[in-house]
A and B are shown apart, each in its own frame.
Chain A
Amino acid sequence: MKYIDQEQVQNKMSSRLIKNNILKTLFALATMFGIVVLVILIVRVLTQGLAWIDMDFITGKLSTNADRAGIMGAILGTLWLMAVVIPVTLVLGVATAIYLELYAPKGKLQAIIQTNIANLAGVPSIVYGLLGLTVFVRAMEFGNVVLAGGLTLSLLVLPIVIVAAQEAIRAVPQHLSEASFGMGATKWQTVKNIVLPAALPGILTGAILALSRAIGETAPLTVIGIPALLIPFPEGIFDSFTVMPMQIYYWTIDSVLVEEYAYLAAATIIVLLLMLFILNSIAVIIRNKFQRRY
């Protein structure tokens, strides 16, 4: 005797297929939603800002006169900021991940640290701004310079790098490090020669995420007191600076006074997105280069 009645199955088949198609459409619509929003955003920014972008705008100095205003100062500020954030987060983040994954004794303390890192990733960015203001700007007396801003943003994105690096290290097959230990290699030799090269693509993916986050941050920088109007270009990590997101912010709120500022903000957004795209591409290229080797 059979338990499955073919006739009944046939009768129900079309309703099952309809349900399947409806859900397929729903899932596609959900995906489209994100894409449509992104397209609208890009189109709006491009129509508003593209006309304002020319060589003078990119290489020029900041000015209250909308026709003469340029964003070279903000571009340099962002680049200097990244020059602090990238090495600081990579070194601190990867070192922390190595310690937690490979050296730290597995136990309560390690679990507590782990939970705290996860929690830190969820702390609002403005709180990091207050921390930066207290520690770097005031206590260490850096002032509102690139170094203070860079260290503040480094703290902000550090959890992202740590977690990504930990996952990348954990994903390196155990049998590879066992082979290395089995030949009398020390932990550091194993980390340097076997674990890190294999984990590098994953670590760089984390670095890309962290970089994208840091480059667009505004809130913590407003708290540490980045000047609203700054004419001279920053020439090092001890100079005052502004960054593109800050420039966008101030131009947007001031657009009630001068209408053209809104277009300048849009133009700056285009440059910022372009820069983000270039930096990410570099990271992706580096990542793929290492990935191919294995």
Chain B
Amino acid sequence: MSLKTESKPSFTPIAQETFLDKKVVYDTKDLNLWYGDTHALKDINLSIYEKEVTAIIGPSGCGKSTYIKTLNRMVELVPTVRTTGTITYNGMSILDKKFRVEDLRTRVGMVFQKPNPFPKSIYDNVAYGPKIHGIRNKKILDEIVEKSLRGASIWDEVKDRLKENAYGLSGGQQQRLCIARCLAIEPDVILMDEPTSALDPKSTLRIEELVQELKKDYSIIIVTHNMQQAARISDRTAFFLNGEVIEFDQTDNIFTKPADSRTEDYISGRFG
């Protein structure tokens, strides 16, 4: 797990000195991905740093969701998927078929586009992850549930109704519950696939504040089609277009002095 010196972003010399002490969590090398005959990701090279928020932006169909789902191999739920290249997570080659996805997904949590709580009680939603990983002790489960709900800043709203069905919560609350459910497996990385696209502006703001809180303890990768959101909350931004990474840099640079004209066109709203 000592990849510290091995991989630095090759095309961001300015960033290097700022992040010299940062550890690389995910390192993607020459990743190509096909859905059947459709070439969805092309030669992706990308390093994700520890305890940062990395935003992935780009127009619809550019491969940003596919990429984030490759990071926990959820993309394999599509049977026709095929990949080449490597992704290492803390030095382990995760696209290797021998690497167990269950192991990976225990360390890498995911929050989805639409809030997707289980049709169970609030408590059971959060306790689900620990339970499948074998924790049966009621006291420990209680503690995990409280800690996770606090971590997702929803504890005060639900502490008196833990036994109620999660479907009774508002959309924004459901999404924070899903974040709590994800924290309950005590992951290192949280993948967020457009987590606010189904939410109103107020709930969106709460999630964004929460992401800022969470990056103290977790590495976060967030896919968003909302450029302002990427600018507000991320440390680094990757711009995807037609399955390729056009530009990957510190968020400030991407939004103030993009190196590629296509990035500039996209962030200034000329397409997408």
Contact = CB atoms under 8 A, between A and B. Distances in A.
Interface residues on B, range: 20 to 34
A183 to B, nearest CB: 4
B116 A184 contact: no
Contacts, number: 64
Contacts of B178: 179
B132 interface: yes
A247 B239 CA distance: 76
Interface string B63-91: 00000000010100101000000000000
Contacts of A179: 112, 116-118, 178, 181
Contacts of A197: 119
Contact of B112 (A106, A175, A184, A198): A175
Given A181-B101, A184-B101, 5 more contacts: A106-B79, A176-B118, A179-B116, A182-B182, A183-B106
Interface in A154-206: 173, 175-176, 178-186, 189, 193-194, 197-198
Contacts of B53: none
A198 B129 contact: no
Given A179-B178, A180-B128, A186 B77 contact: no
A182 B109 contact: yes
Interface in B37-55: none
B145 interface: no
Interface residues of A, number: 21
Interface string A273-285: 0000000000000
A185 B79 CA distance: 19
Interface of A: 105-106, 173, 175-176, 178-186, 189, 193-194, 197-198, 293-294
A189 B132 contact: yes
Interface string B113-137: 0101111000000001100110000
Contact of B110 (A105, A182, A189, A194): A182
B102 interface: yes
A183 B114 contact: no
B185 interface: yes
Contacts of B185: 183-184
B126 to A, nearest CB: 11
B74 A184 contact: no
A141 B116 CA distance: 53
B105 A294 contact: no
Contacts of B101: 181, 184
Contact of B119 (A106, A185, A198): A198
Contacts of B109: 182-183
29 contacts: A106-B79, A173-B116, A175-B114, A175-B116, A176-B116, A176-B118, A179-B117, A179-B118, A179-B178, A179-B181, A180-B118, A181-B74, A181-B77, A182-B109, A183-B128, A183-B181, A183-B185, A184-B101, A184-B104, A184-B106, A184-B129, A184-B132, A184-B133, A184-B185, A185-B132, A193-B132, A194-B118, A198-B119, A294-B119
